[in-house]
Amino acid sequence: MTTVDGPVLPKLIGERVKRREDPRLIQGQATYVDDIKLPGMLHLAFKRSDIAHGVIRSIDTSAAAAMEGVELVITGAELAETLGPMPIGTPFPAPDHYSVATDKVRYVGEPVAVVVAEDRYLARDAADAIEVEYDELPAVVDPEAAMEAGSATLHEGFERNIAVESYWGGTGVNPETAQPEDDSAVDAAFAEADVVVSQRMLNQRLAPNAMEPRGVVAQYEPGREYLTVWSATQNPHILRTLVAAMMGLGEHQVRAVAPEVGGGFGCKINIYGEEYVAAALSRMVKAPVKWIEDRTEAFLTTTHGRDLLGYIDLAAKNDGTILGLKARIIADIGAYEVLLTAMIPTLTGLMMNGVYRLPVVRHELTEVFTNKTPTDAYRGAGRPEGLYFLERAVDMLARELDMDPAELRRKNFIPTDEFPFATQGGLIYDSGNYEPCLDKALDVAGWQEMLAERDAARAEGRIVGVGLSFYVEVCGLGPSAVVPTGGWEHSGVTVERGGKVTATTGASPHGQGNETTFAQMLADHFSIPLEDITILHGDTSVVKQGIGTFGSRSQAVGGAALISAAGKAGDKMKQFAAALLSEHEVAPEDLVFEDGRIQVAGAPEVSKTFAEVADFAYIPVPLPPGMEPGLSEESFFEPENNTYPFGCHISMVEVDRETGEPKLVKMVAVDDCGNVINPLIVDGQVHGGLAQGIGQAMFEEVVYDEDGQPVTASFMDYVMPRAADLPTFELDNTVTPTPVNPLGAKGVGEAGTIGSTPCVVNAAVDALAPFGVTHIEMPLRPERLWRLIQENGGQS
């Protein structure tokens, strides 16, 4: 038997492969937006409102305009002559929202004028020199008060500040009519209940705080009538579409680039006024312009997340069987609707089915304008809020019934044989197998030992509690029917001369490691070394089409598109190989990729090297009949459904009796995101998600005073989790593949954020339960906990 030289290549899918992105990042060689310098580049600075609500009486730009080195000073009203109101991506009615305020300001930080100057220090000086006079209006700060008659209103045509009202309920939504089927069943279920737990809960406003602030460089070339925009964005293709529309250009005249992007977490999905302004002003001053957000601006103007108030009622029988759920939700969306603002809170109610059989649900949602920064997606985007409300309520029910919170959940789980499962909100859960995940979490955490440890600590007079949560979320966004931008993803795969592979993906990453996971997938697909593969992304002139990275969709949708394109390229390559092996009378379908060769399955001696076939594809002499030269294929993947990963989180919290300071002493996460491409990266995603979810539970909150002045606009006042605040996380997983994409991968980016928040609050409530506490609002501030302890005389 003939032997074939060459290494045996290990399969890489499922391996902890080191990231290929890292060498440039750990040596300071990456290029973020602020690292881009173009010849003749000018700098923008924005004059921003320092009041929450008011009419602009006058703007005096004369001092700024007179400064040496200032190229242009322009007000919102002047800019509105060339830039119209900004587009949004949801079907809800929305008030006009200009990139720069034209007549009225509605939140602190809203831009009112822009300076273009030679350097950024000078631009800032000039912006400071602009004098603005306002006629102040009463600030609308409390969303419930905002809905009352007599409240000041932000926008004409939006009575009582209401942006969106939505209602559904009953025994389910009729998919034909989208109407509730039987609403009276809700009242009947509650009448029949042995026990009802009711709680008002705030899922507080958060600042996403990607470590890289936003930034944009825009260069309009008049001679070519061509615009290039570099931006710290999660979705350059959406940026291209919207900037082109705002500028009156076609998409063929715009190139959008997301260079290295320093985190997004949802806040870099929206296309912001600054991006449109940079493009417009570059055309106006005929020079490239740059704007880089500082952190204070980020707190004031980058979209916030969450801020949902929930009135939750959960009805059950004494044996723990859940009978129904009522949720009245008020979303404080801030001053305007931006790209996805109005859609995010609608996801909350949709996910409030959780992992349970819920016979009936009534859901009311009101989205309210207030004089605050607009909200949009923040890691989880609507789902963490819903799961928080539900998992807190389920925990309260367990306490009320004196049941183990794990067993109460188990009793109400959707049984494995009922998947695909249609929820009350009209979603179809693709796959699920909840009990093994719960059991694994209880086992990994040592739940029984934790309970014993808690009780022993209590006996010593310490304040200790344990908490559990079980979440399901919607990932892999999603079919085009439900994603306003289109829900597909695009990929291109080119096998180059010499047998190297270049692939493109529209799933533009900002820390997710797609350059590694996607290369792993291609390495296995073609059986070639990882080093022979380059993954390109983030540039619309390189990546033909795309949607972007959000909603944990990189793998489930982007990865599926990649594999589909690779499949097409591979099929064509086998045809070329079969032609080269024609003396052996080989059919393409008999060929496989194996260790750098294309060979007859089981007969490596009948083979050509990957490189030989690639070379032949570009100089195909003779060209096989019916074939075109070359090896470059692409694919649009449209998923048939979203994916629904799930998981169980368990934690332990100890509270200092003297100071009220909570300490998270244990955090266990057992997640099921379907098939895993790179466990190292999945662990990293879960860790980061946990830190953000714990951050919400324990530390973070955007606070406004009664005049609408933000009082948490720096890292001094907005508490971000630091290394010393967090324990070592204990992770494990179960694997329930999804049937909706060929990878079986569900997505994991948001998982950690969703389960951990209710889990940690549940643990804190358990800790203070001996003091008669049944609920604690987030964040778990020491002062808040101390008061709860004192209200009970400090005695448990």
Interface with other proteins (CB under 8 A), residue from 114, 472, 614, 691 = 691
What string of DSSP letters covers 679-703?
HHHHHHHHHHHHHHHHHHHHT----
Cβ-based neighbours of 8, under 8 Å, separated by 6 or more: 595
Query: By CB under 8 A, is residue 63 in contact with other proteins?
Result: no
Task: Rank residues 121 and 167 by Cβ distance to other proteins and give the closer one.
Answer: 121
Residue type at 182 in one-letter notation: D
Task: Rank residues 26 and 452 by Cβ distance to other proteins and give the closer one.
Answer: 26
Task: Mark 95-114 with x for binding to other proteins (rule: CB under 8 A) and - for no binding.
Answer: -------------x------
* Shortest CB 751 distance to other proteins, Å: 12
Q: Evaluate whether 751 touches 627 at the Cβ level (below 8 Å).
A: no
Task: Rank residues 361 and 377 by Cβ distance to other proteins and give the closer one.
Answer: 377
* Shortest CB 726 distance to other proteins, Å: 6
Cβ-based neighbours of 180, under 8 Å, separated by 6 or more: 167, 168, 169, 170, 172, 173, 174
Task: Rank residues 27 and 795 by Cβ distance to other proteins and give the closer one.
Answer: 27
Alpha-carbon span 711 to 746, nearest angstrom: 39
Task: Mark 259-298 with x for binding to other proteins (rule: CB under 8 A) and - for no binding.
Answer: -xxxx-x--------------------------x-xxx--
* Shortest CB 29 distance to other proteins, Å: 7
What string of DSSP letters covers 400-433?
HHT--HHHHHHHHBPPGGG-SEE-TTS-EE----
b/e map 77-93, b = 16+ CB within 10 Å? bbbbeebeebebbbeee
Scanning 22-30, 283-291, 344-352, 409-417 for contacts with other proteins by CB under 8 A, the matching segment is 22-30
Alpha-carbon span 541 to 229, nearest angstrom: 11
Residues from 449 through 508 that contact other proteins (CB under 8 A): none
Alpha-carbon span 335 to 53, nearest angstrom: 10
Alpha-carbon span 175 to 17, nearest angstrom: 44
Task: Rank residues 30 and 80 by Cβ distance to other proteins and give the closer one.
Answer: 30
Q: Evaluate whether 752 touches 669 at the Cβ level (below 8 Å).
A: yes
b/e map 686-703, b = 16+ CB within 10 Å? bbbbbbbbbbbbbbbbbe
Query: By CB under 8 A, is residue 18 in contact with other proteins?
Result: yes
Residues from 151 through 210 that contact other proteins (CB under 8 A): 209-210
What are the beta bridge partners of residue 230?
217, 257
What are the beta bridge partners of residue 205?
306
> How long is the chain?
796
* Shortest CB 261 distance to other proteins, Å: 7
* Shortest CB 144 distance to other proteins, Å: 23
Q: What is the dihedral of CA 435, 441, 443, 446, to 10 degrees?
A: -140
Scanning 27-35, 339-347, 380-388, 590-598 for contacts with other proteins by CB under 8 A, the matching segment is 27-35
Task: Rank residues 292 and 393 by Cβ distance to other proteins and give the closer one.
Answer: 292
What string of DSSP letters covers 52-78?
SSEEEEEEE-HHHHHSTTEEEEEEHHH
Interface with other proteins (CB under 8 A), residue from 170, 288, 467, 752 = 752
Alpha helices in 344-404 (DSSP H): 344-350, 383-401
CA 92 to chain centroid, in Å, comes to 21
Query: By CB under 8 A, is residue 62 in contact with other proteins?
Result: no
Task: Mark 667-686 with x for binding to other proteins (rule: CB under 8 A) and - for no binding.
Answer: -------------xx-xx--
Task: Rank residues 613 and 681 by Cβ distance to other proteins and give the closer one.
Answer: 681
Task: Rank residues 378 and 576 by Cβ distance to other proteins and give the closer one.
Answer: 378
Query: By CB under 8 A, is residue 55 in contact with other proteins?
Result: no
* Shortest CB 668 distance to other proteins, Å: 13
Alpha-carbon span 332 to 312, nearest angstrom: 17
Phi then psi for residue 667, to 5 deg, are -145, 115
The SS3 call for residue 344 is: helix
Query: By CB under 8 A, is residue 688 in contact with other proteins?
Result: yes
**Residue that the structure tokens 């306002």 belong to:** 134
* Shortest CB 66 distance to other proteins, Å: 14
Q: Evaluate whether 637 touches 601 at the Cβ level (below 8 Å).
A: no
Alpha-carbon span 327 to 393, nearest angstrom: 11
Interface with other proteins (CB under 8 A), residue from 15, 707, 732, 777 = 707
User: Which tokens go with 762?
Assistant: 């549940």
Query: By CB under 8 A, is residue 124 in contact with other proteins?
Result: no
Task: Mark 209-238 with x for binding to other proteins (rule: CB under 8 A) and - for no binding.
Answer: xxxxx-------------------------
Query: By CB under 8 A, is residue 790 in contact with other proteins?
Result: no
* Shortest CB 451 distance to other proteins, Å: 26
Task: Rank residues 132 and 528 by Cβ distance to other proteins and give the closer one.
Answer: 132
Interface with other proteins (CB under 8 A), residue from 11, 14, 25, 198 = 25
Scanning 18-26, 342-350, 355-363, 622-630 for contacts with other proteins by CB under 8 A, the matching segment is 18-26
b/e map 569-588, b = 16+ CB within 10 Å? bbebbbbbbbbbbeeeebeb
Query: By CB under 8 A, is residue 22 in contact with other proteins?
Result: yes
Task: Rank residues 43 and 362 by Cβ distance to other proteins and give the closer one.
Answer: 43
With CA atoms as reference, report the closest residue to 302 among 334, 259, 261, 255.
Answer: 334
* Shortest CB 519 distance to other proteins, Å: 15
Task: Rank residues 420 and 679 by Cβ distance to other proteins and give the closer one.
Answer: 679
Interface with other proteins (CB under 8 A), residue from 448, 589, 601, 715 = 715
Give the interface size with other proteins as a residue count (CB under 8 A): 70
Q: Evaluate whether 552 touches 682 at the Cβ level (below 8 Å).
A: no
Query: By CB under 8 A, is residue 573 in contact with other proteins?
Result: no
Which helix (DSSP H) or strand (DSSP E) does residue 671 occupy? strand 662-672
Alpha-carbon span 761 to 391, nearest angstrom: 10
Task: Rank residues 268 and 574 by Cβ distance to other proteins and give the closer one.
Answer: 268
Query: By CB under 8 A, is residue 21 in contact with other proteins?
Result: yes
* Shortest CB 729 distance to other proteins, Å: 6
The radius of gyration computed from the CA coordinates of the chain, to the nearest angstrom, equals: 28
* Shortest CB 255 distance to other proteins, Å: 22
Q: Evaluate whether 633 touches 568 at the Cβ level (below 8 Å).
A: yes
Scanning 57-65, 158-166, 608-616, 701-709 for contacts with other proteins by CB under 8 A, the matching segment is 701-709
* Shortest CB 654 distance to other proteins, Å: 16
**Residue that the structure tokens 């089981």 belong to:** 602
Query: By CB under 8 A, is residue 305 in contact with other proteins?
Result: no
Scanning 198-206, 336-344, 533-541, 724-732 for contacts with other proteins by CB under 8 A, the matching segment is 724-732
Query: By CB under 8 A, is residue 705 in contact with other proteins?
Result: yes
Interface with other proteins (CB under 8 A), residue from 557, 713, 765, 778 = 713
Alpha-carbon span 640 to 651, nearest angstrom: 36
Interface with other proteins (CB under 8 A), residue from 122, 271, 565, 664 = 122
Interface with other proteins (CB under 8 A), residue from 6, 10, 11, 26 = 26
Alpha-carbon span 214 to 33, nearest angstrom: 9
Cβ-based neighbours of 675, under 8 Å, separated by 6 or more: 14, 735, 737, 743, 744, 745
Kindly list the distances between the CA atom of residue 415 and the CA atoms of 146, 411, 472, in Å, as whole numbers in the listed order: 43, 10, 14
Task: Rank residues 71 and 683 by Cβ distance to other proteins and give the closer one.
Answer: 683
Task: Rank residues 26 and 191 by Cβ distance to other proteins and give the closer one.
Answer: 26
Residues in touch with other proteins (CB under 8 A): 18-19, 21-32, 34-35, 50-51, 108, 121-122, 125, 128, 209-213, 260-263, 265, 292, 294-296, 510-513, 680-681, 683-684, 687-692, 705, 707, 709-711, 713-717, 720-724, 726, 728-729, 752
